[in-house]
Structure 1
Amino acid sequence: MTPDEVAERTRRATGAAVDAARELGLEVEHPVVLHDVFSVVVHLAPHPVVARIPVVLTAAADPAGQTARRQRELDVAAWLDAQGVPVVPPSALVPRSPIHRDGFVMTFWELADLADDHEPYRGVALRHSAQLHAALARYPRELPFLAPFNDGLPAMIAELHTVDLLTADDVDRARVEFDSLRAILADQKAFQAAFPGVTVQPIQGDAPSHNVIRTTSGIVFSDFEDICRGPVEWDLAMLGAAAVAEYDAAARDLGIRTVDPEVLRVMEYARRLQFIGCTTLVSQLPLLADGLGQALSEWRSMPMFGPGQVGRSQVGRS
Structure 2
Amino acid sequence: MPTADTPSPALTAAERAEHAVDLATRAGCGLGLQPDEPRVLYNVFNVLVHLAPHPVVVRVPSLAAGPLAEQAAKQRRELAVAGWLADRGAPVVGPSPLVPREPVEIDGRSLTFWEFVDETDPLSAVTDPAALQERFVEQTGWVAELHALLAEHPGDDLPVLSPVVPAVGRTLDELAEHPHPLLTPGELDRARKEYAVLETLVQDLPARFPGARLQTLHGDSPAYNLLRTATGHLFSDFEDATRGPVEWDLTLVGPQGIEEYERASGTRVDRALLDVMESARFLQIVGALAFASLKPDLAPMLEPAIDQWRARTPLSLENLG
TM beyond 0.5? yes
For residue 181 of structure 1, the aligned residue among 195, 198, 212 is 198
User: What amino acid is the match of 1:173?
Assistant: R
Is the 1:52–1:106 contact (alpha carbons within 8 Å) kept by the matching residues of 2? Answer: yes
Mapped contact 2:154–2:216 kept (Cα < 8 A): no
Residue equivalent to 1:30:
37
Deviates more, 1:270-279 or 1:73-82: 73-82
Give the drift of 1:76. Answer: 1.2
Determine if contact 1:237/1:264 at 8 Å carries over to the other structure.
Answer: yes
Partner of 2:4: none
- Structure 2 residue aligned with 1:158: 173
Aligned positions, number: 302
TM superposition shift of 1:139 = 0.8
**Aligned partners of 2:71 and 2:110 also within 8 Å:** yes
Q: Aligned residue for 1:114?
A: 119
For residue 115 of structure 1, report the CA deviation from its aligned partner: 0.7
Are the aligned partners of 1:120 and 1:213 in contact in 2 as well (CA < 8 Å)? no
1:5 aligns with 2:12: yes
Q: Counterpart in 2 of 1:246?
A: 260
For residues 115-152 of structure 1, the C-alpha deviation after alignment (integer angstroms, 9 at most, x for no partner) is 14453897443221000000000012421110100132
- Equivalent in the alignment of 2:163: 148
- The answer to whether the 8 Å contact 2:122/2:227 transfers is no
Q: CA deviation at 1:160?
A: 2.4
Q: Contact 2:96/2:114 (CA < 8 Å) preserved in 1? A: yes
Question: Following the alignment from structure 1 to structure 2, what is the Cα–Cα distance between the partners of residues 10 and 56?
Answer: 13
Deviation at 1:158, TM superposition (A): 1.4
TM-score by length of 1: 0.90
1:75-94 equivalent positions in 2, closer than 5 A: 75-94=80-99
Which deviates more from structure 2 when the two are superposed, residues 282-291 or residues 3-12?
Answer: 3-12
Change beyond 3 A, Cα 1:2–1:157: closer
For residue 166 of structure 1, report the CA deviation from its aligned partner. Answer: 0.7
Say which of 186, 189, 196 aligns to 1:169.
186
Shift of 1:3: 7.7
Do structure 1's residue 280 and structure 2's residue 290 form an aligned pair?
Answer: yes
Which residue of 185, 192, 212 maps to 2:206? 192
What is the alpha-carbon distance in structure 1 between the residues aligned to residue 170 and residue 296 of structure 2? 19
**Is the Cα–Cα contact under 8 Å of residues 55 and 104 in structure 1 kept in the other structure?**
no
Pairwise CA RMSD: 1.8
Is this contact kept in 2: 1:88–1:110, CA < 8 A? Answer: yes
What's the TM-score, normalizing by structure 2? Answer: 0.89
Question: Following TM superposition, by how much is the alpha carbon of 1:215 offset from its aligned partner in structure 2, in angstroms?
Answer: 1.1
Residue of 300, 303, 306 corresponding to 2:310:
300
Instruction: List runs of 5+ in structure 2 lacking aligned partners.
Output: 1-7, 127-131
Uncovered stretches (5+) of structure 1, i.e. residues with no partner: 312-318
Residue identity (%): 42
Kindly provide the amino acid, as one letter, of the partner of residue 103 in structure 1: G
